[in-house]
Structures are given as C-alpha cells and as structure tokens.
Amino acid sequence: MEPKNEVAALTPERIEKLKAHLENNAFAQICGIKVAEMRYDYVKMTAEVRPELLNPLGRVHGGMLYTLADCCSGLTARTDGRKYVTQNGSLNYLSNVAQGHLEAESRVIRRGRTVCVLDIAVRCPEENKLLAEGIFTMYAI
C-alpha cells in the first residue's frame, strides 16, 4: 500500500524502523555503513575507510563502493513505506581513495507502481572526490 503523501511515509517512527532495518543487515554492519541523513526520497549514508575494505592496490574495493551505493539506494526507495529489492544497479567508478570516509547520497528520480529509479553518488569529502555515480532500480515486493 502506497502512502498518500510523504508525511505519511516518513514519520519519526518510520525513520527509526528504517534505521533498524539497516542495523539488522549484517553485511552492511560488517562494512560499517551508517545512516547520516534521511528524508522522503533522499538518504545519505557514511562508512569509514578501513584496511579490510581496501583492494590489493591499497584503494577502496569496488565491492565496498557498490555495497554502499546499493544500501543507500535501497533505503531511499523504502522511504515511501514499502519494501524493495534491487532489480538493477549500474555504477560508474570514477576515482578512488586509500583513506578517509565515504559518503553516499541517493535521490529518487521516479517512483512508479512497482519500480523506483534512483540516482546515487559516492564521494570522499576529505579529498573532495566523486568516487562513483550511477542509477539503481528497485522493485517493490
């Protein structure tokens, strides 16, 4: 059931429930992903760069960047009160870092009856670098 407006979708109780959803995601917890900001159709997440998240070249592993983008996009889709799974994700890797922290921001481009399309960007604010950007499509279940 879709909410009639964004206020119905994102009450303080709903925000806490969505944060709990991320806290119950063991893989996201292993990666150190946290919610920094949330509102209807927008989520910002962060993660600290740690040695176990680096690739053999000493930079953030592409899988970590993708995981952060996927988690952020999925939670953004869920701000309407429905449950979603990833239908498709396309991420362009643009740059990389060896340290600092990561910030992902996701916004809804379009909500349909069963599909939600989102824009995602992953940055390293300390180095003022855009690391990856892409489009994710989430399917309402």
Query: CATH number for the domain including 80?
Result: 3.10.129.10
* Res 13: pLDDT: 81
Residue 71 included in any domain: yes
What percent of the chain shows pLDDT beyond 90? Answer: 79
Q: What is the pLDDT of residue 1?
A: 41
Residue 80 falls within a domain, yes or no? yes
Which range marks the domain in which residue 102 is found?
6-140
Is 30 inside any structural domain?
A: yes
Tens digit of each residue's pLDDT (9 = 90 or more) over 119-141: 999 999 999 999 999 999 999 99
Distance from C-alpha of 52 to C-alpha of 17, rounded to nearest angstrom: 29
User: In this prediction, what percent of the chain has a pLDDT beyond 70?
Assistant: 94
1 part of a folded domain: no
Query: Structurally, how many domains does the chain consist of?
Result: 1
What is the pLDDT at residue 50? 96
